[in-house]
Chains A and B, each alone.
Chain A
């Protein structure tokens, strides 16, 4: 019988990084080493601890990373609490990759890019950012605006400072919601910061974060003169199958797991406001 996507593969956790008080980044390898499967930036995978549950998570590592996959996971429910309790060497089940991806090889190619992320919303965008960094000649200016509740809640802070900020070809703008000792950077919410930065309207925008942040960021971008066709986001709804059959992640006739998770705002506009 042919393989069935519902029957998972095994991955092994080979590294765990405590990113913030409630976010850990897990490195996952195949049992024989290397990656369990290949993916494109923005795609997701179903991770499971048998007996606990299964959930869809964006793959935060870039496909240009040939050694392993990474998942940045915020502890907020039953399964994620179990994942956070794992030690290195723990095996998990994994299946995928699922969904579409950011059009890095088509619509985004040659464009000036603006990444806007809030909190754990950096996870799916990090895959794109590192893909772009590894194929730098294919893209124009790159600007990253990233904000979180506090300095301690910035996911991947070390990579942001050591690699992204150190890269002369990338502009990084960080912000935190409230003033904090030891922080001399920008303070304020992401949507306002984007407006203050007044980015050029020839940029293509990739935004991900809490729904409220996305909503106000989009409104701010429109005020600056951006159109919905220039702005991409990635969605998240409850999923069981990952392939558009179990029937629960639909927005209108589109399934987030199969037709998404990446949507352009003009595409979302045609769907009912139910997400």
Chain B
């Protein structure tokens, strides 16, 4: 297997960044990592994951869809789309890597979202296998193996070296482009590291969470459950869960008058917000209970109903860490579980 010594990783980064834009997770402060455009000398974060998910690379929080020039009664539509530049995201974890295939099901289904596809076509995902998962991790519940992440290239660390496994055509091209920095290495110790990680993962507190009670055919079991009232009681509708969620993809479209033209933006939205479904003549979800229910029903029932049983959650644990009232999908699944 091709590898690079951990001490030489920045040489590799420098080489990648010379050819295309490279993003790596860096520490903003201890244990608070975020993706940043790589500049020489930056150190890759050792944190397990970034606070915000990696969905921003393909589905940014805000993006300009079109521009309009309005003059008198005339309108001119400006298609401002441009072919994206190639870029590499290095260090994506297995949970976020899976979220891309979930987002693909939404944005690449007909009619294809060209804004998303443009970024997807030009992005190379280099994932990093997990060796020390956190207590909030539960990706295995959704069939994800964090020791062998998806992506164009998977990178594995044995503590001293990083090993590279190309998994797609784009990945092979990427590895070839940096092969001068890589050398053949003995991956014997890697298996040991993986085995150790797997034994930790099996013992994670949420590893036993069951999805058996959920799926596309479970509408009637859950929609009218009395448990939603208690579960949603303390929800303040802040939308933090949706913003840190790698699979939440609801969006709003709004126009902004710049004074010399109108820009139409797409930005993240949240089904937890009271105005999400509000119309001039009323609102089908008037209470926080209904909005809270919508979010979890979407991930656990509606999304699987439309996508061959695949759940809209990757078990990254961000909502567990960030919800101000400590409510999260794990608590919901446990409460609604049919035993």
Which residues of A does B touch, CB under 8 Å?
1-10, 48, 50-54, 76-78, 80, 87, 89-93, 236-238, 240-241, 243-250, 252-253, 271-272, 274-275
B76 contacts which chain A residues (CB < 8 A)? Answer: 10
> For the complex, what is the distance from the CA of A248 to the CA of B253, rounded to whole Å?
12
Stretch from B17-25, B205-213, B272-280 at the A interface: B272-280
Question: Please, which residue of chain A has its CB at the minimum distance from the CB of B258?
Answer: A51
Q: Is the interface of A mostly helix, strand, loop or mixed?
A: loop
Which residues on A sit within 8 Å (CB–CB) of B271?
247-248
Measured CB to CB, the closest approach of chain A to B107, in angstroms, equals: 7
Q: Chain B at the A interface: mostly helix, strand, loop or mixed?
A: mixed
Structural contact, A274 and B79, CB atoms closer than 8 A: no
Residue B249, interface by CB 8 Å: yes
Shortest CB–CB separation between residue B261 and chain A, in angstroms? 9
* Residues of chain A within 8 A of B250, CB atoms compared: 246-248
A1 to chain B, nearest CB (A): 5
- Are B277 and A10 touching (Cβ within 8 A)? no
Residues on B lying within 8 angstroms of A by beta carbon are 65-66, 68, 70, 73-77, 79, 81, 83, 106-107, 109, 111-115, 118, 216, 219, 223, 249-253, 255, 257, 262, 264, 266, 269, 271, 276-281, 284-285, 290, 294, 297-298, 301-303, 305-306
Cα separation A51 to B279 with both chains bound (whole Å): 18
Q: Across the interface, do A250 and B252 meet the contact criterion of CB distance under 8 Å?
A: no
Can you list 28 residue pairs at the A/B interface with Cβ under 8 Å? A4-B113, A6-B65, A7-B66, A8-B66, A8-B77, A10-B75, A10-B76, A10-B77, A50-B70, A50-B264, A53-B255, A77-B281, A91-B74, A236-B279, A238-B276, A241-B251, A245-B107, A245-B249, A246-B252, A246-B253, A246-B269, A248-B250, A248-B269, A250-B294, A250-B298, A253-B306, A274-B285, A275-B284
* Min CB gap A216→B, angstroms: 18
- In the complex, what residues of B have CB within 8 A of residue A53's CB? 255
Q: Which residues of A contact B223 (CB under 8 A)?
A: 252, 272
Closest Cβ–Cβ distance, residue A164 to chain B (whole Å) = 27
- Kindly identify which residue among A6, A93, A236, A249 contacts B75, using a CB–CB cutoff of 8 Å: A93
| CB atoms of A51 and B77 under 8 A apart | no
Taking CB atoms, residues of chain A closer than 8 Å to B294 are 250, 274
A248 touches B66 (CB 8 A): no
